[in-house]
Amino acid sequence: MKIAEPNKFKVEDYVQQMASKTGVPVENVKVKSREMSMSVGYSFKGDAKVSKEQAESAIAKSLDIDQSQVSVEILTRRLKGQLRGRKLAEETRIKATITMDANDEAEIEKAQAAHEKLADPEKSADMLENVKKVLSDEADIEIDLPEVTEAPQVEVKVETEIIAVFGSETPVKLPTEAVLQEIAIKAGAEDIEVTDVKTFTTDPIVMVEADNTTADATTTTVATSTVAPTTTTTTGGNADRYVYQGTFNLTMSAEDGEKLTADITKAKKVFEAATASVTGLNTSEVTMTKIYYGDGDSQFRRLADHYYDQGPPDGPRRSRGAHDATGSVIGVEFLISSGKPAATNFKASDLEAAIEKAAKAEGIEGIDVTVTKSTITLVSSPPAPARADEDSSSVAIVLTVLLICLAILGMIGGFFYWYREELKTWYYRKAGKAEN
């Protein structure tokens, strides 16, 4: 966005306007970063050429900022013959761009001070005198007082995150160009241009109300999402892995239930870490696929009223109707995909301790949970390799067959030998009788 000077951009008004025009609560619009970019053109006329690095160093020191915040582009140079007899031999025209963060008041004040040295006539003259001095002292280049060839211009680059309305399965749509211009003007800018738009998908966690009285469960999405939740599949890439599906049900006080589910992202991390702990796996191998209120067998009658609202503009999201006055029942479904078998013989007390420990690690203190039911089922596993005894049995069978074949061949050979000898004997006997 183009602005007159750094302190003219009103970030609060920008957030309010962006929220209003995109139809989301104010707390769903977050300014992730702000960056001021100030550009100005100068002409250096002196007895030698001014290099890019020399100009950057002189301007940075004159503005009292780091040289890394100054970028200089050399536009043109004019030689002595083109200066029509002037004593000074070289003219270097440049465009300088000063880039500064503006994420807090201190950074904005520093950017504003630099801008005033560029734009205010009196302060600019002092700054340019200092540029002249720095070039003389450090580069041994004598120049006239630099001339401004392009008036200072200021742009603010704002990285903005807009989160979809709770419960929505559609992405946030940016306002039209005309509406964006209106937002810019009300935020103290003169113009606005959207340079990059990225859409992200949050984890596919849903909160489901389990109810025996109806055929279908009522689903309420509580993971804030900018697009429709994605679907996790377990086919294809898991052919060589152990895949499990599991569930567990928890009971706790209404207060503890409220603390545990106030932030669904933290709740997901807690349950994944606890499941990984009791199954002896890494957290990355466990994925929560569903978190719901109720256990499917019993049901709080007020769960039909359960939903999260956005709360006041200056406050956190609130949960209403999520818990009974006497306690909370929370059900969890999870998926495991691991290169090794998971431990499935853990005790309920182990899971309870793991959940409470994981919750504490996420800053959720003092919860007390009871596991009333847990299941874990092996869905698929890698093909089992042949066992050593099976290999030896196969070899034994082959050897046995070979020995039998050799024995048969030996018997046949022996029979032919015996027959040959008997035939010879008979022949000699017959020949002897003939002689007599």
Exposed, middle or buried: residue 34 (CB in 10 Å: 0-12, 13-18, 19+)?
Answer: buried
* pLDDT the model gives residue 423: 74
The span from the CA of 316 to the CA of 27, in Å, is 8
Q: What is the mean pLDDT of each run of 10 residues along the chain (436 residues)?
A: 89 90 84 91 91 94 94 80 57 94 91 94 94 93 93 90 65 79 87 68 43 33 31 42 90 88 87 94 88 54 34 42 58 89 92 94 92 90 63 71 83 78 72 58
* pLDDT the model gives residue 241: 79
Exposed, middle or buried: residue 415 (CB in 10 Å: 0-12, 13-18, 19+)?
Answer: exposed
* pLDDT the model gives residue 264: 82
* pLDDT the model gives residue 224: 31
Residue linked to tokens 């301790």: 353
Instruction: Tell me the two tokens of residue 341.
Output: 């078998």
* pLDDT the model gives residue 301: 29
What's this model's pTM, rounded to 2 decimal places?
0.48
* pLDDT the model gives residue 210: 38
Exposed, middle or buried: residue 36 (CB in 10 Å: 0-12, 13-18, 19+)?
Answer: buried
Instruction: Tell me the two tokens of residue 389.
Output: 């005894």
Instruction: Tell me the two tokens of residue 434.
Output: 């003939």
